[in-house]
Structure 1
Amino acid sequence: MDPVVHFELPCDDRERLARFFERAFGWKAQMFGPEMGNYVVVTTAEQDARPDAPRGAINGGFFTRTAEMPAQFPGIVIAVRDIRDSMRKVGEAGGQVLGEPMDIPGVGAYVAFLDTEGNRSSMLQPLPMGR
């Protein structure tokens, strides 16, 4: 079974959204620059979804809406062992993979997809721990 390990929310103003979640829920935001698509990583728990983490605790991120990206809605990120094999399975199950995997330095390979109902989610093949 492949677990949910991350969530993503789209935004128009990343600073405003980060301030909201910090003030409302105490989340911490780490903002990246253009080389990482201006992505914002948000920490919602002291530990992320590792085997020793509190049950059900995951962290997430915010991405800036752009005209080029399809299906910019809240979504989940699912950890997979083999991203290419999982891309094939998504297609066989009736979903649609949105492009090719991109490498996120220090994290792993990532690609978004649509399920059979048009919901946008993503999958991540994490790098081995300690890399």
Structure 2
Amino acid sequence: MNRVIHFEIPAIKADRAVKFYETVFGWKIEKWAGPMDYWNITTGADKEPGINGAIMSVDGAIKQVVNTIGVKNLDEAAKKVLAAGGKRVSPDQTVPGIGYFAYFTDTEGNPFGLMQNDPKAK
């Protein structure tokens, strides 16, 4: 079964959003060292139920909170999404050291991500 493994919160002013979530929920938020404006969120200890996420700068394409679902094979999962009436909204992306990722929408227009884990991704 595929599970939600990550969430993303879009922000026009990421520094403002970081301050909000740190203040309200006590989340640990750190700027990612990768090639885009992205702040990783730790929502609690690994032994507690829940998932971690991120704050991302809004680029115009996605303006809603996005849940990412872990899949074994991104290509196969993408085919299922499209066959069921969903739409692709981004090309496949490689996240170095993490895996392969793409954004989609469901039949109702709700955005979500699919992530294939691959620590060897370059």
Q: Normalized against structure 2, the TM-score is what? A: 0.90
> 1:17 maps to what in 2?
17
Runs of 4+ in 1 over 2 A off after TM superposition: none
Q: CA–CA distance in 2 between the matches of 1:101 and 1:72?
A: 19
Shift of 1:65: 1.0
> 1:54 maps to what in 2?
48
Shift of 1:103: 0.9
Shift of 1:99: 2.5
> 1:107 maps to what in 2?
98
> 2:40 maps to what in 1?
41
Q: What is the number of residues matched between the two proteins?
A: 120
Secondary structure at the aligned position of 1:63 is classed as strand
Report % sequence identity.
31
**Alignment deviations for residues 17-67 of structure 1 (CA, whole Å, 9 cap, x no partner):** 11111111110111136x5320111110122xxxxx433x10001111124
Secondary structure at the aligned position of 2:89 is classed as strand
Q: Does 1:74 align with 2:73?
A: no
Q: Does 1:91 align with 2:82?
A: yes
Q: Does 1:32 align with 2:18?
A: no
Ranges in structure 1 where 5+ consecutive residues have no aligned partner: 48-52
Shift of 1:16: 1.0
Ranges in structure 2 where 5+ consecutive residues have no aligned partner: none
Secondary structure at the aligned position of 2:80 is classed as helix
Q: CA–CA distance in 1 between the matches of 2:42 and 2:118?
A: 19
